[in-house]
Structure 1
């Protein structure tokens, strides 16, 4: 089998291009693609713990803590200590973080549309399903 036929190589190559493209999309808003992922999760549900955010964004706990510190310094989020567990911090958007959604969502949706151009809705659904099966196959190896 040739190198460019391995699924892992194809996924890695695509991931690099997608990350570069999406980073260009979010750069005018002075955030990283990883911070964008956190914002998207918080736009859906605020008050998550740092551990829950790490799980939902597929980041390790150390990286998410650093990222949240930066986002807090920039006024996008604030963290609140859980009254039942002083070791646990819950993350909430600030008004600035909430307002960023209206600015950032349209170019994000446009970027998504460009990445799936030429695919039918069924192909996109099948592609997600296929990638999720591969993920499940390798996540605990």
Structure 2
């Protein structure tokens, strides 16, 4: 087997660099590291439950709660009790939160432009396809549970 660090190391580096870049770029807006991810999900599906947000972003409920509370404090989102489940909250964008969409997208595009600046158009296309193919494998709700998804053990 090849050294997993040859793939996992660069992926982790890209991820950490992405978070650091976005934190720096959004600091003036008082949006902390990783909080923009919550906004990005809400741009696609405003009003989803706090628990669903945590699951989609693969973070703990506590991490999700802290991020949402910070975004709420800054006026980007508000929470409302779920009519069907009074124990749960739904999270909605405020006008201020909606206005941040273009700014965040601009920052993300800038990051990607830098990341892919030395790629040819064909390499960019292949990279996107391969990254999406790899990420799709991890979308299985059971991924990461002990004893599962260890197909290499069976071979």
Aligned residues: 141
CA pair 6-79 structure 1, distance change in 2 beyond 3 A:
same
Aligned counterpart, 1:52: 52
Indicate the RMSD between aligned Cα atoms, in angstroms: 2.6
Q: What SS does the corresponding residue of 1:90 show, helix, strand or coil?
A: strand
Q: Deviations over 1:47-70 (max 9, x none)?
A: 100011101122111111111111
Cα shift at 1:88: 0.8
Task: Please say which of residues 2-11 and 113-122 is displaced more in the overlay.
Answer: 2-11
Larger fraction in strand: 1
Indicate how the Cα distance of structure 1 residues 15 and 61 shifts in structure 2: closer, same or farther if over 3 A, else same.
Answer: same
The aligned residue for residue 7 of structure 2 is: 7
SS at match of 1:48: coil
Q: 2:79 aligns to what SS in structure 1?
A: strand
Return 5+ residue gaps in structure 2 as ranges.
147-155
TM-score normalised by length of structure 2: 0.76
* Structure that is richer in helix per residue: 1
With normalisation by structure 1, the TM-score equals: 0.82
Distance 1:90 1:135 in 2: 23
